[in-house]
Amino acid sequence: MDSRDAQKNKAELSFHDVCINFNFPAFLRKKTKAVLHNINFSIKAGESFAFIGESGAGKSTIGKIILGLYKPGAGKVIYQGLSLDSILTTKLSWYRGQCQSIFQDPKASLSPKMKIKELLTEPLILMKSAAKADYDEIIRIQLEKLGLKPVLLQRYPHQLSGGEAQRICIVRALLRNPKILICDEPTSGLDISTEFEIIRLLKSLQVNNRLTLLFMTHNIYLLPHIADNVGIMYKGELIETGPVAKILNYPKHVYTQKLIQSSRYN
């Protein structure tokens, strides 16, 4: 076992040579495309790690593997020293509580025909830890923490603004007291001021709740505000990882250099 493996073993979450291929229907046959190729990284508890790369680079696929929605074709994912494979078969409901996510389009990730109250009650029903009578109070406290008014509970998702909808998604995720929060481009559909409000909110949650934050984005300018470490994704490969300041100031890979250069023009 080398030092890299030893470091990974201490990590909250780590990927070991993870590969995944997708089959696409083509004319009279199936086409296979390698979406992730030998992905290796590790994240410590309470750390904020960002994956950056263009669309189709494989960022969301990493998130979906962690959430247990995709199964890697090869390699291992380790969470708190246990293989994700065995967790998903033996401790699935516990793991679902440990690992929550928020998505790119907040309104699309809220069921359109359910009131916000109904949507926020679901995680509490799943947890079974609180009495039914306490649901309203728990939800109200969590809403207030995120600066939302209880009046929103009687609304439907289409009646919310983008920022409100994303905060509701965050509340829904936090109601399960997760250890890891996966944020898959959570601000890409929002205007710039709301984007920074959400980023500040996520950062404060990460610090105050000791959340491990996985942040997928293609906006390099967000990195200094949200992440401690960053992984650069390119065509299904993790080409470079390290602390944000180091990667931004001393990029090694040509793609990373071009990515940083292009962000200066935007």
Partner 1 sequence: MRTYILKRILSGILLVIGLLLFTFFLVRLSPGNPASIGYDPLKSSQSMSRLEKVWGLDQPVHTQFYAWVTGILHGDFGRSYSNHKPVTELLKQTIPNTLLLTVPALVIQVVVGILLGLIQIIRHNTWLDRFISSFTLFIYAIPAFWLALILIMLFSQKFGWLPSSQMISFSYDSLSLWQKFLDRCVHLLLPVLTMSLTSIGITSRYIRNGLVDIMDKTYITAARARGLSEKRIIFKHALRNTLVPVITVTGQYFPVLISSSVVIELIFSWPGMGRLVVLSSYARDYPVIIACTFLMAVFVVLGTLLADILNAIVDPRIRLQEKV
Q: Which residues bind partner 1 (CB under 8 A)?
A: 64, 67-69, 92-93, 96-97, 99-101, 103-105, 108-115, 122-123, 126, 156, 158-159, 169, 172-173, 176
Compare residues 42 and 98 and give the one whose CB is closer to partner 1: 98
Nearest-angstrom CA–CA distance, 94 and 68: 12
Q: Which of 193, 253, 189 is nearest to 218 (CA)?
A: 189
Compare residues 142 and 263 and give the one whose CB is closer to partner 1: 142
Q: Estimate the share of the chain in helix, then strand, then coil, as percent rounded to the nearest 5.
A: 45, 25, 30
Nearest-angstrom CA–CA distance, 5 and 11: 10
DSSP β-bridge partners for residue 51:
216, 231
Tokens encoding 150: 């209880």
Rg (CA), the chain: 19
Of the CA atoms within 13 Å of residue 72, those in its CB half-sphere come to 26
- Taking the complex as a whole, how short is the minimal distance between the CB of residue 19 and partner 1, in angstroms? 22
Compare residues 88 and 248 and give the one whose CB is closer to partner 1: 88
- Taking the complex as a whole, how short is the minimal distance between the CB of residue 111 and partner 1, in angstroms? 5
Compare residues 122 and 197 and give the one whose CB is closer to partner 1: 122
Instruction: Name the H helices within 23-178.
Output: 59-66, 84-90, 92-98, 116-127, 135-145, 162-174
- Taking the complex as a whole, how short is the minimal distance between the CB of residue 96 and partner 1, in angstroms? 3
Compare residues 69 and 82 and give the one whose CB is closer to partner 1: 69
- Taking the complex as a whole, how short is the minimal distance between the CB of residue 100 and partner 1, in angstroms? 7
Looking up tokens 């995680």 gives 123
Measured in whole angstroms, the distance separating CA 256 from the mean position of its chain's CA atoms is 21
Compare residues 148 and 160 and give the one whose CB is closer to partner 1: 160
- Taking the complex as a whole, how short is the minimal distance between the CB of residue 87 and partner 1, in angstroms? 12
Nearest-angstrom CA–CA distance, 169 and 142: 12
Q: Which of 263, 102, 115 is nearest to 189 (CA)?
A: 102
Nearest-angstrom CA–CA distance, 153 and 164: 11
Looking up tokens 């929060």 gives 181
Compare residues 114 and 260 and give the one whose CB is closer to partner 1: 114
- Taking the complex as a whole, how short is the minimal distance between the CB of residue 103 and partner 1, in angstroms? 5
- Taking the complex as a whole, how short is the minimal distance between the CB of residue 156 and partner 1, in angstroms? 4
